[in-house]
Structures are given as C-alpha cells and as structure tokens.
Amino acid sequence: MSGLPFTLIAAVNADPLYVWKQASMEAKAIIVVLFIISIVVWFVMFNKVVQMRRARKLNRYFGEEFTSQKTVLEMFDRKLAVEGCPLYAVYQAGCLQLDARLRGPTGERAKQHISLKNMEHIKRALENVVAKESLQLESGLILLAIAVSGAPFLGLLGTVWGVMNTFAGIAQSGSASLAVMAPGVSAALVTTVAGLLVAIPSMFGYNWLVHNLRAFTVELDNFAQEFVSKIETEFLADD
C-alpha cells in the first residue's frame, strides 16, 4: 500500500464505508438522526404535494359547478359532495348556516330572506372554515422548517465534535502527520455534508409549499367573499 500514489490512497480513503468506519460514535448517532429526519422530510413533502394537487384539481371542478349554478343553494339541494375540496368545505358550511336560517318552526324552508344579523353569523362561519382549511393545508410544514434550520446545526455539531476528538487523539499520541489527521477530519466533515443534504431539499420544498399555500389561502378568501356576495344578493332582506 505504501507504494501506491497519494491520489489513489485518497480515493480509497474517500469511500463512504471507510469514512463511516472512521467516524466516532457521536458522529454516527448524528448521521442516523439526520437520516431519520430526511425520511420524515421526504414523506411530508410527498404527502403535501399530493394533497395540494388533489385540492387544486377538486377546486377547479367545484369552481366550474359553482359558477354554472343558478341559485346559491342549487348544489346543496342536489347534495353534491366533493370530499377533500377546500372550496366545497367553505360552501357546505355556508349553506348549512343559510339553510338553518331559512327554515321555519316546522322545519321546512319557509323563509325567503334572512336578516343582517343572520348574515353576520354566516360570515363568521365561513371565516372559521377558511381558517380551518388553511391550517389543514399548512399542517406538516413545521417539520420542514425545523429540518431547514436544525439539520445544518446538527451536522456542524458532529463536525466540531469529530474534529475535537481528532485533535485530542493527536495530542495524546504526539503525532501530527496528515495520515493521522485525515481520517478523523474527513469522518467529522461528513456530518456537515449529511446536514446539508437534509436541509437543502427541505428548503426548496418548504418554499414551494408555502407559495402554494398562500395561493390556496387567497383562493379560499376570494371564494368566501364571492359566496357571501351571492347570498346577500339573493337572500338578504332590504331594510
């Protein structure tokens, strides 16, 4: 092995398995933790992408149906169900409130108009559903934010710890040659690489999901306002 060129020795020593063997127990523990975090991050990102694409598709379908109906309660009376659609959840909540206020003591829909006070109750119900749907779409993003901010520091902790152990070993052995230092330093640096490999995809995924979440929130707010406007036009009594 002593006759091999230095570059060949470096190539052999750069093998991930070799670096893993040279890593301390602390560094290995941090790498395992980062690996688990990476699995969770990719699982969350995949689920959120599927959820948002499905929600966008259902919103488009529901929006076409809502625009084509002649009266506010037409789809509600037809019992059209679009489960998993955020716009439908807002529409359903508003229709339930409106329908309850149009029914008389006998339980039949006898009234033709609602009061301004009833309209305020409907608005508050819609606002609650919009907030609830936004929070549901936002669920899980905190894990990505933690990975973005925490993974690099975990990796840095492993690197500093590994370098500290390497220099402590050199001080005890009294030898400071490159052959003694390189394995420990390379094994220490791999934790920083692992932290960045977790943080970088999490950062891109988090930013993409936040952008889409804002678009969904704006869409929900706009729909709620349009829905309220149609209810007021059709059912609000003129004082």
Q: What is the pLDDT of residues 122-168, one digit of tens each?
A: 999 999 999 999 998 888 899 999 999 999 998 888 888 877 777 67
Tokens of 114: 């609602």
pLDDT in tens, 7-41: 333 434 456 666 666 667 777 888 889 999 999 99
Tokens of 97: 């409130």
Q: How far does Cα 106 stand from its chain's mean position?
A: 47
Per 3-state DSSP, what percentage of the chain is helix, strand, and coil (rounded to 5)?
80, 0, 15
Q: Is the dihedral of CA 159, 162, 168, 172 positive or negative?
A: negative
Helix (H) or strand (E) segment spanning residue 3 = none
- pTM given for the model: 0.76
Neighbouring CB atoms inside 10 A of 8's CB total 11
152-161, 180-189, 196-205, range with the lowest pLDDT = 180-189
- Check residue 8 and give its pLDDT: 33
What would the DSSP string read from start to end of 38-61?
Answer: HHHHHHHHHHHHHHHHHHHHHHHH
Q: Report the C-alpha gap between 127 and 125 in whole angstroms.
A: 5
209 with 87: CB under 8 angstroms? no
Q: Which amino acid is at 239?
A: D
Give the pLDDT band (50/70/90) at residue 171: low
